[in-house]
Amino acid sequence: MAKLLPLRHKGNDSLFLAVEMSLISTLAGIPLHIHAEGLRGTGKTTVMRCARHRVPRISRIKDCPYHCEPESPHCPLHRDQGTASDGMVEEVPMPFFEIGHGAKLGTILGSIDLEKLTDSRRPQASLMPGTIPMANRGIIFIDEVNRLAETAPEITDVLLSVMGTKPGCVKVEEVGLRPFEIEVSSSVWATSNPDEDPGPLEDIRRQLADRFDLVVPVQRPGDASIVERILARKSEVDSPEEVFLGDAAQKAAKLADVVVPKSIVKYLAHLYIHKNVESLRAVEALELSSRLAALIAGKVEVSLDELALVIPLVLRHRVEPLTLSEILKDLELRRAAGSRPGPEQRETPGLKSGPTTPGAGPDHHPYENPDGHSKVLSPAGLNDGPEGARGEKQRATSLSFQEGEDLKERAKPSLLQRALARYRASLRERFGPGSHSKATSTPSSSLPGSPSRERSHGTDYLSASGVAGAPPISPGEPARRLSSLPWDHLVTPPDWQDGWR
């Protein structure tokens, strides 16, 4: 009897989604590696191990330990036999193997089969397949992968080969046997607690951390009612009506039909270049995981909604937190701009209105002008574009990364403007706001060439009032040239200073 499925809640919802995406992708022949991070006792291992009892079934050549596909055998036993006949095909559950911390290279790659070698009637030197080759077209699970990366570097090197390409490749070399290479199309699942020794995986083996397509944060339940339901479920039995991954095979067959619009492909390319993402695996994982998220949502085309869902999981271990926050803010602005209707948009009677998110239709690219150039949104998000083929005005709803960054830089006040604003605020607190209202109404009043500056004795001085001829407000000392003020006096309010001299 299958184990009871763990309760899905807000803290582990992303892990359930990642597990479903990985199983569908593996069924489709594309490994998707996931790494669950979280504190002890949050249920990371429980969710992943529970999937062992709910994996879909696959077809293989009968009794093949390497789970060869009947149409394209790849193992040393069947690669020369061609396509298997119907009588030589069987259905088995998708392989699910776990690599423990006591594993050796011979157990995960393969070693001499001692039982056959010591057979008194017919001794034979043959290879006993290891865990990784036998997990082909299935799942390899590793608990506490950060500790394994520190204590077993040779196993980590093998994992780097398995996860380096899709499909991966391992080379089996054993004394007395002819070495051979074999393809392995397996998804690697792992868990770790970054708060315990030896620390986060990216600090131990950064190469291995980058091999994981998704890093999923797992948190404890945040609601007492969820904990009550978890405790109550211990006495329950598995319900046949409880469905998880029941339609994984049907979804895997439709994965190739999910497309990524050209506008989103362009967005991912700009993201990689302008945010200095060091690994191309990041954009490849974004493309694959966004297609999987769209497939699970019942869509045939990726939109920014799916991209916003997977970006935190794909980039969490690849960019700095501040960079990730900037990417998510930029993406949220693009989503808001894409969902804002224009005045010309009308719903045609008898037809369903089009989707409001980008990439919702095969010919709908609201993030790119007809001439191929990006266009900056006005504050209302209603820039008028050139006339279209039907006489309707097209609207651009996206910015290129470079244009967006330039706009942000121009919108920021300069360092001098911020310092002057702070200095004026200290004067207002000390002497009252009456004579400073005009001078502080706009940051540009302190810039060189501004009309609020007055000339005295041939030298530029700050005018506290902004009115020509008004005496400078100062604590009983003559006004001094701005360039003569020390930097700490310019930035620090007077009340915080011991003295101005």
Residue 333 belongs to some domain of the structure: yes
Do residue 299 and residue 385 come from a single domain?
Answer: yes
Residue 7 belongs to some domain of the structure: no
Q: How far apart are the first and last CA of the chain?
A: 83
pTM score, two decimals? 0.66
The predicted-structure confidence for 6-47, as pLDDT tens digits, reads as follows: 888 999 999 999 999 999 999 999 999 999 999 988 889 999
**More confidently predicted of 353 and 333:** 333
Residue 89 pLDDT level (bands cut at 50, 70, 90): confident
Residue 460 pLDDT level (bands cut at 50, 70, 90): very low
Mean of per-residue pLDDT scores for the chain: 75
Last residue of a domain, one of 229, 252, 275: 252
Which is nearest to 151 in space by CA: 211, 200, 103, 91? Answer: 103
Do residue 389 and residue 270 come from a single domain?
Answer: yes
Answer whether 337's CB lies under 8 Å from 267's CB. no
**More confidently predicted of 192 and 368:** 192
Q: Long-range contacts of range 156-160, CB-CB < 8 Å, 24 or more positions apart?
A: 156/205, 156/208, 158/105, 158/108, 158/109, 158/132, 159/188, 159/208, 159/211, 160/207, 160/208, 160/211
**More confidently predicted of 333 and 483:** 333
| Rounded Cα gap, residues 57 and 64, in angstroms | 15
Residue 291 belongs to some domain of the structure: yes
Do residue 469 and residue 424 come from a single domain?
Answer: yes
Judge whether residue 241 has pLDDT over 80: no
Which is nearest to 123 in space by CA: 136, 112, 135, 139? Answer: 112
Residue 74 belongs to some domain of the structure: no
Do residue 459 and residue 388 come from a single domain?
Answer: no
The confidence score (pLDDT) of residue 369 equals: 42
The confidence score (pLDDT) of residue 217 equals: 94
Judge whether residue 84 has pLDDT over 80: no
The confidence score (pLDDT) of residue 199 equals: 87
Answer whether 315's CB lies under 8 Å from 325's CB. no
Domain that residue 405 falls in:
258-341+356-409
| Rounded Cα gap, residues 340 and 45, in angstroms | 42
Last residue of a domain, one of 218, 252, 286: 252
CA 178, 179, 185, 189 torsion-angle sign: positive
Last residue of a domain, one of 219, 252, 285: 252
Do residue 296 and residue 230 come from a single domain?
Answer: no
The confidence score (pLDDT) of residue 373 equals: 43
Quick one: average pLDDT of 190-199?
A: 89
Quick one: average pLDDT of 465-488?
A: 53
Residue 37 belongs to some domain of the structure: yes
Residue 458 to residues 439, 454, 461, Cα–Cα distance (Å): 21, 10, 10
Residue 144 pLDDT level (bands cut at 50, 70, 90): very high
Judge whether residue 456 has pLDDT over 90: no
Do residue 264 and residue 362 come from a single domain?
Answer: yes
What DSSP character marks residue 460? Answer: E
| Rounded Cα gap, residues 103 and 151, in angstroms | 11
Quick one: average pLDDT of 449-469?
A: 44
Do residue 312 and residue 456 come from a single domain?
Answer: no
The secondary structure of 168-186 as a DSSP string is: EEEEE--TTS--EEEEE--
Quick one: average pLDDT of 244-257?
A: 84
Residue 392 belongs to some domain of the structure: yes
Which of these ranges, 72-86, 131-145, 230-244, 272-286, has the smallest mean pLDDT?
230-244
In 143-284, the DSSP E strands lie at 168-172, 180-184, 187-192, 214-218
pLDDT > 90 in the chain, percent: 32
Residue 311 pLDDT level (bands cut at 50, 70, 90): very high
What DSSP character marks residue 364? Answer: -
Return the CATH number at 179: 3.40.50.300
**More confidently predicted of 407 and 452:** 407
Which of these ranges, 75-89, 274-288, 476-490, has the smallest mean pLDDT?
476-490
Quick one: average pLDDT of 321-328?
A: 91
Instruction: Identify the residue whose tokens are 């006949």.
Output: 85
Prior bond of 194 cis (ω within 30°):
no
Conformation bin of residue 6: beta by default, left when phi > 0, alpha when psi is -120 to 50? beta
Which of these ranges, 75-84, 198-207, 321-330, has the smallest mean pLDDT?
75-84
Judge whether residue 191 has pLDDT over 90: yes
Judge whether residue 390 has pLDDT over 50: no
Residue 126 belongs to some domain of the structure: no
The confidence score (pLDDT) of residue 356 equals: 40
The confidence score (pLDDT) of residue 377 equals: 40
The predicted-structure confidence for 198-223, as pLDDT tens digits, reads as follows: 888 988 889 999 999 999 999 999 88
Q: How many domains does the chain have?
A: 3
Angle between helices 304-315 and 262-274 (to 10 degrees): 30
Judge whether residue 92 has pLDDT over 80: yes
Do residue 248 and residue 294 come from a single domain?
Answer: no
Residue 451 belongs to some domain of the structure: yes
Residue 490 pLDDT level (bands cut at 50, 70, 90): low
Do residue 419 and residue 393 come from a single domain?
Answer: no
Residue 306 pLDDT level (bands cut at 50, 70, 90): very high
The confidence score (pLDDT) of residue 125 equals: 67
Quick one: average pLDDT of 178-198?
A: 88
Strands 187-192 and 139-142: parallel
Which is nearest to 189 in space by CA: 135, 152, 242, 153? Answer: 135
DSSP-based three-state secondary structure for 189: strand
Do residue 290 and residue 437 come from a single domain?
Answer: no
Which is nearest to 72 in space by CA: 91, 90, 59, 63? Answer: 59
Judge whether residue 88 has pLDDT over 70: yes
- Range ranked top by mean pLDDT from 166-180, 341-355, 357-371, 429-443: 166-180
Do residue 398 and residue 429 come from a single domain?
Answer: no
* Number of other residues whose CB lies within 10 A of the CB of residue 378: 10
Q: Give the side-chain half-sphere CA count within 13 A for 180.
A: 17
Do residue 403 and residue 425 come from a single domain?
Answer: no
User: Which residues does 296 contact at the CB level (< 8 Å), separation at least 6?
Assistant: 17, 20, 21, 24, 251
**More confidently predicted of 400 and 248:** 248
The confidence score (pLDDT) of residue 338 equals: 73
